[in-house]
Amino acid sequence: MRILIFATNHFLEHVRNRFVLISFFVALFLFALSLILGEMSFSEQKRMMIHFGFLAIYLTLLGLSLFLGSSVIQKEIERQTCLILLSRPVHRYEFLLGKFLGIVFLQVLIWAILGLTLVVLLNFNVPLLSFTLALVGILLEAILLLSIAMALGLWIKPAVALFASIGFFLVGHWQKDLVFFAFKSGDPVFIQFSKIVQTIFPQFYRLNYRSSYLVEKDLILESFFPSAIHALFWIGFFLTLSALLLRRKDLV
């Protein structure tokens, strides 16, 4: 219950945040750009629109994860706004989860608005399941990145946490190529290294259903579940890690 009180408050804070509004309008601008570029292309208007539409949603959500997630708790500590809250009968993990959910609510809201806008722009002419899976993949990637940024933001300075989170994100996407090249090279050390990387970093590439959507169109729900469970496991892991870090952190 108290987690929801924190989440609602944090959500309201961000709804009134200028950075969030700007991100939202940048996404709308990218939508407009996709319309123009679609018109300019010879035979791939719809494809261009979908590509740019996904990109706009993707960048907006990832931007929110990185910029809000890496500094959300540290900002509370620096400004000492958390002191007055934690003097209430609440646990630190409730505060943390409330903050996390507040950003997730915001991302879901923006994701839903932009997703619906894209469907409208495409005249509802999309395969519903595949299109939804591609969008859910984007959302899960953003939430996973948010949990990573929050955990790192509790451990290191926000600016460093932001870049480290980008590192996690890139490694998470390049793992597939890394494994491919490792096996291609036949070097056992390289192969072992690629396996370790695959174990200790979340596999972001598994959530990239937007590219698959553009290539295959018909995505299968069954193939999505393992990826979603993989993402949820890592989100849970990073949230637990954050809660443990915050539990014994001096709020100075």
Partner 1 sequence: MNFMKALIVRDLEKTFLDGFWRTKKKVLKKVSFQVAAGQTTGFVGVNGSGKTTSLKCILNFIFPEQGEILFFDNQTIGPKVKSQIGYLPERPYYYDFLTAEEFLKFHWRLAGKGQGFHLACRQILEKVNLLQARHKKLKSFSKGMLQRVGMAQAILHQPQFLILDEPMSGLDPDGRLIIKEIIREEQKRGTTIFFSSHLLGDMEELCQDLVIIHQGQVKYEGSMNQFILKSNIDYRITYVPTEKWDPLEIIVGKEKLQGEIDRLRQGQNQILKITPAQLEIEKAFSQLISADRSTPETQI
Binding-site ranges for partner 1 (CB under 8 A) = 2, 5, 9, 12-13, 16-17, 79-81, 83-91, 248, 250-252
- The H or E element containing residue 128 is helix 128-155
Share in percent of the chain as helix, strand, coil (round to 5): 85, 0, 15
Q: Which is nearer to partner 1, 98 or 172 (CB)?
A: 98
Q: Which is nearer to partner 1, 92 or 210 (CB)?
A: 92
Beta carbons of 14 and 102 less than 8 angstroms apart: yes
Task: Please state at what angle helix 45-69 crosses helix 158-185, rounded to 10 degrees.
Answer: 130
Compute the least distance from the CB of residue 154 to partner 1, in Å.
15
Beta carbons of 137 and 227 less than 8 angstroms apart: yes
Compute the least distance from the CB of residue 78 to partner 1, in Å.
9
Compute the least distance from the CB of residue 161 to partner 1, in Å.
20
Q: Which is nearer to partner 1, 84 or 189 (CB)?
A: 84
How many angstroms separate the first and last alpha carbons of the chain? 27
Compute the least distance from the CB of residue 245 to partner 1, in Å.
13
Q: Which is nearer to partner 1, 14 or 51 (CB)?
A: 14
Count of all residues that appear for the chain in the document: 252
